[in-house]
Amino acid sequence: MKFPVLPAVAALIAATCASAHAALTVFTSQSNFLAQLSSAGVDTFDDLARSLVTDPLSRTAGTYSYTASVGPRSDFFPGGSGSDVWLASDNRFDTIQFSNFTSAVRGIGGLFFGSNESGLFTNTPANFTVTATDASGSFAQMLVNPTTTTFLGFVSTGSLTSLTVWVGSQGAGTAGVWPTINNLTVGTVAAVPEPETVALMLAGLAFTGVVARRRRPI
């Protein structure tokens, strides 16, 4: 015997299944970004020396692990001010990438800005391209002349696979801007039932409703 599924329930099942594809949300507010995470870890980079650091780096942010790499031309050369160390490339034309996250990571963000040849913050005009990638593809966000307090974060409905930072085209005769990151933050989000599980649950509720109607006395 076939049992009908109520139209409203069927529509909800279809919508739920459609949400199986990962989607990215961009945050420029650090507080709003953190509010989306059920747990978060921060890598301050303060343990790094301000000297050449060989690529790649195996890093942790709280309970999460990841790999930081840079290329294609150089290694890392951290900068910063006082006891605050920033992660930067040794070549201003290189791209910094974060990848190999713990599988549960669905949120990543940080402070993105430029430093000069001495490893100090520079306000030289520059456009930064920050790209996050998950199962649905890549999404690039541009930051124009960011400062040391400029925050950018991404939250995905699926697992994140990488995040890259690159400074736009720089002429050889211009003042250089090195891609720089501080306080990289990664985390996960509250558990959400798999679409198939939700669909079965809703189908069960629809079946229960049909049976209840048939048992209703005439």
Supply the CATH number for residue 46's domain.
2.60.120
Q: Is 12 within a domain?
A: no
Examine residue 164 and state whether it is found in any structural domain, yes or no. Answer: yes
Is residue 125 domain-resident? yes
The tens digit of pLDDT for each residue in 56-71 reads: 999 999 999 999 999 9
In-domain check, residue 214? no
7 within a domain of the structure (yes/no): no
Q: pTM value?
A: 0.78
The C-alpha atoms of residue 183 and residue 26 are separated, in whole angstroms, by 17
- The two tokens of residue 89 are 């490339």
Domains in the chain: how many in total?
1
Asked whether residue 13 is domain-assigned, the answer is no
In which domain, by residue range, is 49 found?
A: 22-190
Residues 51-110 have pLDDT tens digits of 999 999 999 999 999 999 999 989 999 999 889 999 999 999 999 999 999 878 999 999
For residue 161, how far is the Cα from the chain centroid?
A: 8
Torsion of CA 34, 35, 38, 40, to 10 degrees: 10
Residue 140 lies in a domain: yes
User: Quick one: pLDDT band at residue 191, thresholds 50, 70, 90?
Assistant: low
